[in-house]
């Protein structure tokens, strides 16, 4: 059975302020979902809450992944189970190289699946890394640099996709992985995601632009507004938003409070 991320009536508060006010969403392996919505509507909040960021308090609702209640698990345990988040603003980790970071992450994921696993051999890891970096058009010296330290905006986004490509999660959440990319980089990054898309990967693409959805075609598009998903539809919903903006969403669902 395909594993599934199931979000039911999730409410989240940050510093006692209610941000998400009941979100429902189901994502299966093999499906691509896009999440759109105005600035401040709660898209990144959903991503952080799903990964278990300590500042994001889930005050109601349920999140299960592969049938397990993940709200009880640490961010690390969630990642090892195969849940992946590419951050809107990736953080630098001075002192930890890209290669070391990835090798540690791969090994802890392998160990979670099989406690007897001895880890990936250096030789296999090197060739895996070389292959994945080449497919994302990343220069080889990046592997020896500290993760995201001094990386340009576009380089950070590519490094996120490199993590996605090497870790092979079951469900990946990409928070504005397309923002700040030049046109060529957008094609490379979207192409990198497309290569990974298939029956084993479910994706939630958080984006403001229809542009990226030309490369990564969503099965479903959802609109977040004031902390709720207020519209869901097929790929044409993204076109509609691009043409009409969010005014009609606001008119239909706004209550004058919040963003
Ligand atoms: N640490 C925080 N402290 C207080 N409020 C916060 C914090 N983080 C987020 N918020 C608020 O939560 C709301 C939702 O923010 P969020 O980042 O989820 O929006 P978003 O939909 O991802 O927006 P964008 O499209 O601009 O990325 C905003 O009003 C924001 O100001
Ligand atoms: Mg955001």
- pLDDT above 50 (res 259): no
140 is a domain residue: no
| 142 within a domain of the structure (yes/no) | no
Predicted pLDDT at 1? 57
Question: Tell me, what's the pLDDT at 179?
Answer: 85
Contact between residue 197 and residue 170 where contact means Cβ atoms under 8 Å apart? no
Whether 44 is in the pocket of ligand 1, judged by its Cβ within 6 Å, is: yes
Q: Give the pTM.
A: 0.92
C-beta of residue 35 within 8 angstroms of C-beta of residue 205 = yes
Residue 3: per-residue pLDDT: 66
pLDDT, average across residues 143-168: 93
pLDDT of 2 above 70 = no
Residue with CA closest to ligand 1 atom 17? 44
Question: Is 226 among the domain residues?
Answer: yes
- Is a pLDDT exceeding 80 seen at residue 255? no
d(CA 68, CA 112): 15
Does 178 have pLDDT greater than 90? no
Query: Residue 257: CB within 6 Å of ligand 1?
Result: no
211 within some domain: yes
Q: What is the C-alpha to C-alpha distance for residues 196 and 192, in angstroms, rounded to an integer?
A: 7
E-strand ranges in the chain read 4-14, 17-28, 32-36, 56-65, 68-69, 83-86, 93-97, 146-147, 171-175, 202-206, 220-225, 228-233
> Does some domain include residue 120?
no
Burial 46-55 (b: 16+ CB within 10 A, else e): bbbbbbbbee
100-141 per-position pLDDT tens digit: 999 999 999 999 889 999 999 999 999 999 999 999 989 999
Residue 62: the pLDDT is 97
Q: Is residue 111 part of a domain?
A: no
Q: Give the chain's domain count.
A: 1
pLDDT (average), residues 50-72: 95
Beta-bridged to residue 206, according to DSSP, are 35, 175
pLDDT reading at 66 higher than 80: yes
Is the CB of 142 inside a 6 Å radius of any atom of ligand 1? no
- Centre of ligand 1 to C-alpha 42, Å, is 6
pLDDT at 172: 96
* pLDDT beyond 60 at 257: no
Q: What is the reported pLDDT for 95? A: 94
pLDDT tens profile 183-218: 888 988 898 899 899 999 999 999 998 888 888 999
pLDDT at 256 over 70: no
Q: Which ligand is nearest to the CA of 54?
A: 1
Please report whether residue 246 resides in a domain.
yes
Q: Which atom of ligand 1 is nearest to the CA of 224?
A: 21
Which mutation among 17, 23, 44 tests ligand 1's pocket best, with the greatest number of atoms within 8 A of CB?
Answer: 44
Q: Is 177 in the pocket of ligand 1 (CB under 6 A)?
A: no
pLDDT averaged over the chain?
Answer: 92
- Distance from Cα 148 to the centre of ligand 2, integer Å: 19
Q: Which ligand is nearest to the CA of 39?
A: 1
What percent of the chain is predicted at pLDDT more than 90? 80
Q: How far apart are CA 18 and CA 57, in angstroms?
A: 9
- pLDDT, position 230: 97
Task: Tell whether 240 is covered by a domain.
Answer: yes
Structural domain containing residue 235: 4-95+147-253
Name the residue of 16, 23, 37, 42 whose CB sits within 8 Å of the most ligand 1 atoms, as the mutation to test its pocket: 42
Rounded Cα–Cα distance for residues 238 and 235 (Å): 6
Q: What is the CATH number of the domain that holds 175?
A: 3.40.50.300
């Amino acid at each position: 059975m395909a594993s599934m991320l199931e979000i039911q009536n999730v409410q989240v508060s940050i510093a006692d302020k209610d941000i998400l006010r009941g979100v429902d969403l189901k994502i299966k392996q093999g499906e691509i979902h896009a999440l759109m919505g105005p600035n401040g509507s709660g898209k990144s909040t959903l991503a952080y809450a799903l990964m278990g960021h300590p500042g994001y308090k889930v005050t109601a609702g349920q999140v299960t992944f592969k049938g397990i209640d993940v709200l009880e698990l640490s961010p690390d345990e969630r990642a090892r189970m195969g849940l992946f988040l590419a951050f809107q603003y990736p953080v630098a980790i001075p002192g930890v190289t890209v290669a070391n970071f990835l090798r540690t992450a791969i090994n802890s994921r392998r160990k979670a699946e099989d406690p007897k696993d001895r880890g990936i051999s250096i030789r296999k890891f090197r060739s895996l890394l070389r292959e994945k970096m080449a497919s994302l058009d990343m220069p080889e010296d990046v592997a020896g640099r500290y993760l995201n330290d001094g990386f340009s905006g576009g380089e950070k986004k590519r490094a996120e996709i490199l993590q996605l490509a090497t870790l092979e999660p079951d469900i990946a959440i990409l928070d504005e992985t397309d923002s700040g990319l030049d046109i060529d980089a957008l094609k490379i990054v979207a192409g990198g995601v497309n290569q990974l898309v298939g029956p084993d990967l479910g994706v939630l693409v958080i984006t403001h632009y229809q542009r990226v959805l030309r490369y990564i075609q969503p099965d479903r598009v959802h609109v977040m507004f004031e902390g709720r998903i207020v519209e869901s539809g097929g790929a044409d919903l993204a076109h509609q938003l691009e043409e009409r903006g969010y005014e009609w969403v606001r008119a239909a669902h706004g209550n004058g409070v919040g963003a």
